[in-house]
Structure 1
Amino acid sequence: MSDSLSDEIRLAGEIDRLKAEYPKTRELYREVCALLFFRFGVTPTANRLYQLVKRGSMSTPTQVLGEFWVELREKSRVRIEHPDLPAELQAAAGELVATLWTKSTASAQAALETLRNDAEAEKVSARSEVAALQAELARTETALEQRTGALLAAQVRIQELEQAQAAAEATRQALETEIARQQEEIDARDQALMQARADFSGDLDKLRGSAALAEERLRAAEKRALLEIERERVVSARSQKELEAAARRAEQRETRHREEIQALQVQLGDARHQAGVMEGSLAALRDSNAAYVAELNVLRLQPATARTNQATLQKRPQYSAGTPKPRQATPKVVTKKRAAS
């Protein structure tokens, strides 16, 4: 056992020396063949050569080993055919060379078969790796299709939100138009009331001289003024109710849109978790939603402004039954005064 270990150590040292001396791979394999056969009495094989040298491909030691045996046979044949050798020695040498040749050929064939088996195993392993990569590719394609579907769904939802936003914008504009129209009507009524006050004051100054004659007419005018004021109050109350109903409708639309926005934010969160690469599109959607909420806030402030204006109108002083100033009373009183004259 110690001799075998010593031979292995010496062989490793000699191979290291040959590696430093022969940098070319084929020359190194040829020298290792000669070292094994002539120095250590070991029949070299392709597998053994590759284990010792570990350079090049597996076909290199096989080719070098074949060339080594061919060269050895040629050199042996020359020595056998030397005229100084006896015939018995020539025959024995020929048999020895033939035996060595047969054994080396068998070893080379075995080594070649081993190389073929190794190559086949590597081929099978490579096929398994290719199959695994194809399966992984199929899984990746499936995941990509799922993410693409989620992205398309998010885009459809974005389009729906944009349509809803356009509808809300149209509703907001219509509501602003209605509020402006009602405000104009209120302003016109205020102006008419102020004009009626001025007219009534002038007529009252004229009627002071004939108060006794116009007392009954004045009472009738007061009744008509009270009716007119009551009608104005009814109209004002109806306008207030319409404004409140419009405000409630706007709040309901705002609540519904806020719920849709919250649901969309949940969907966008899922899409962001599934496809990080779509964060730019989703950021744009969030900006659009923020603008949409800002517009809804502006829309919510419009009814509040209208209610404030209405409250200001209601706080204006009302005329009692003793001092009526209707818009239509003055012309009637004046007509009767002229008739009395």
Structure 2
Amino acid sequence: MEPVLTAEAQLLNDVDVLRTRYSNTQELYREVCAVMFFRYGMTPTANRLYQLVRKGSMSAPAEALAKFWSQLRERSRVTIDGPDLPESLRSGAGELLSALWKQAQEAAGEALAALRAEAEARIADAARAEEAAAVRIAGLAAELAAEREVSGAARKELAALRHQLAAGEAINAKLRQRVEDARKELNEQHAWFRTVERDHAASLDKLRVQLQAERDAAVAAHRQAVEEREREHAAVLRLQKALETERDAGAAALESQRAELRDVVSQLAGLHQRIGMLDGSATAAAAARDDALQALAAVRRELAVAQAEAAAAAGRAAALETALHHAAGRAGPAAPRKRQPAG
């Protein structure tokens, strides 16, 4: 087994040496045929030659092999036709060369057919591989196009998301700024409501003191009128009915004023309670503020009405006093008395 391997290795070395000597493909194949046939006793075939040389097309070793056998037959024929050889040797050598030639031609034909079949099979395999590769390339191109479309859509979507994110961050910043502004405004309204509450409390205190003073003045005036009526009762009997009528009217007016005063105090208490509720409800601040101002204006209007009615009552008391003086003058001289201011 080892000599075969050694011969094979030597043959490969010889082919490498011949490859460096002969650049022409046909000459190289012809020399390889000669080395195989004469040096190593191997019958060259086109397939074997192509495996050793691997140069040119598949028809190059077959053509070189045909030329080799043709040259060998020509040389053998010349040698056989030599005059020095006996007739029996010439005929035997001719038959031997003829048999060798036929065997070589048959081997060459078989090798050429096998080589052609192998080449056709390789060509068919290559064609099928090419078709499969074309299909695969088309599929990959379609996948690549789809991936590019998906990637483009993804990039667009990513850009849109980034734009939405930036817009959302801007909106959040605006909202945070608006919340901060609303908080500041709420604090300012808180402070304003507390100021208004203090002002309203001071105004209510002043109004309460003023109403109390007016009520005390009215009570004092009434008490003084009663005292004067009692002192002059004997002198003004004829005017008693008129005096009682005026007194009843004054009492009714006083009661009306007291009722109005109670209403004003109740409204002021409701206003104070409403202001306290407004302190906890920031959303109704503007409306509550308008209501408070309107209620305050209404209280002031009612206070003005009450003051006008008090002034009217004082006028009526003055008129009554004047009538009493006139009546006293007509009734006769009376003891001098100190005149008290009305109201």
TM-score, normalised to structure 1, is 0.51
> Does 1:332 find its partner at 2:302?
yes
Q: Which residue of 2 aligns with 1:56?
A: 55
Please give the secondary structure, in 2, of the residue aligned with 1:43: coil
Q: Aligned equivalents of 1:120 and 1:333: distance in 2? A: 124
| Structure 1 runs not aligned, ≥5 long | 244-305, 307-325
- Give the Cα–Cα distance (whole angstroms) in 1 for the partners of residues 17 and 151 of structure 2: 67
What residue in structure 1 maps to residue 121 of structure 2? 121
**Cα distance change, pair 32–54 in 1 and its aligned pair in 2 (3 A):** closer
Match of 2:43 in 1: 43
Is the 8 Å Cα contact of residues 46 and 111 (structure 1) preserved in structure 2? Answer: yes
For residues 219 and 182 of structure 1, do their structure 2 counterparts lie closer, same or farther at Cα, with a shift above 3 Å needed? farther
- Deviation, 1:103, is 2.9
Residue 193 of structure 2 corresponds to residue 197 of structure 1: no
Aligned pairs (5 A) from 1:169-180: 169=171
**Contact 2:50–2:61, Cα closer than 8 Å, also in 1:** yes
Which structure is richer in relative contact order (CA contacts within 8 A, separation 6 or more)?
1
Q: Would you say the 8 A contact 2:69–2:101 is kept in 1? A: yes
Match of residue 226 from structure 1: 269
Tell me which residue corresponds to 1:18. Answer: 14
Deviation at 1:212, TM superposition (A): 1.3
CA deviations on 1:9-63 (whole Å, 9 max, x unpaired) are 5633541552464333756644442233234544321233445x36436555334
Identity %: 28
Amino acid at match of 2:4: E
2-side partners of 1:34 and 1:232: how far apart? 127
Matching residue of 1:71: 71
Q: Which runs of 5+ in 2 are unaligned?
A: 219-256, 286-294, 312-343
Q: By how many angstroms is 1:333 displaced?
A: 2.4
Query: What CA distance in whole angstroms lies between the structure 2 residues aligned with 1:122 and 1:29?
Result: 22
Of the two, which has the highest radius of gyration?
Answer: 2
**Does the Cα contact within 8 Å between 1:18 and 1:31 map onto a contact in 2?**
no
The DSSP-based 3-state class of the residue aligned with 1:48 is: helix
**Would you say the 8 A contact 1:36–1:43 is kept in 2?**
yes
* 97 and 148 in structure 1: CA distance in 2 versus 1, 3 angstrom threshold: same
- Corresponding residue pairs, total: 251
CA contact (8 A) 1:203 1:334 kept: no
The 1:198–1:152 alpha-carbon spacing in structure 2 relative to 1, beyond 3 Å, is same
Please give the secondary structure, in 2, of the residue aligned with 1:34: helix
State the 1:225 CA deviation: 0.7
Say what the alpha-carbon RMSD is for the aligned residues.
5.2
Q: 2:30·2:68 contact (CA, 8 Å) conserved in 1?
A: yes
Query: 1:189 offset after TM fit, Å?
Result: 4.7
2:46–2:62 CA contact under 8 A, matched in 1: yes
Paired residues of 2:193 and 2:279 also in contact (CA < 8 A): no
Residues 69, 10 of structure 1: CA spacing in aligned structure 2 closer, same or farther, 3 A cutoff?
A: same
Partners in 1 of 2:145 and 2:196 — Cα distance?
Answer: 71
SS for the counterpart of 1:115 is helix
Give the counterpart letter for 1:337 in structure 2: Q
Pick closer, same or farther for the CA change 1:231–1:198 going to 2, 3 Å.
closer
Residue 21 to residue 139, structure 1, CA distance change in 2 (3 Å): closer
2:11–2:36 contact (8 Å) kept in structure 1 = no
TM-score with structure 2 setting the length: 0.50
Per-residue CA deviations over 1:177-232 (Å, capped at 9, x if unaligned) read 99579847766655543443343445456556435147835433211112323444
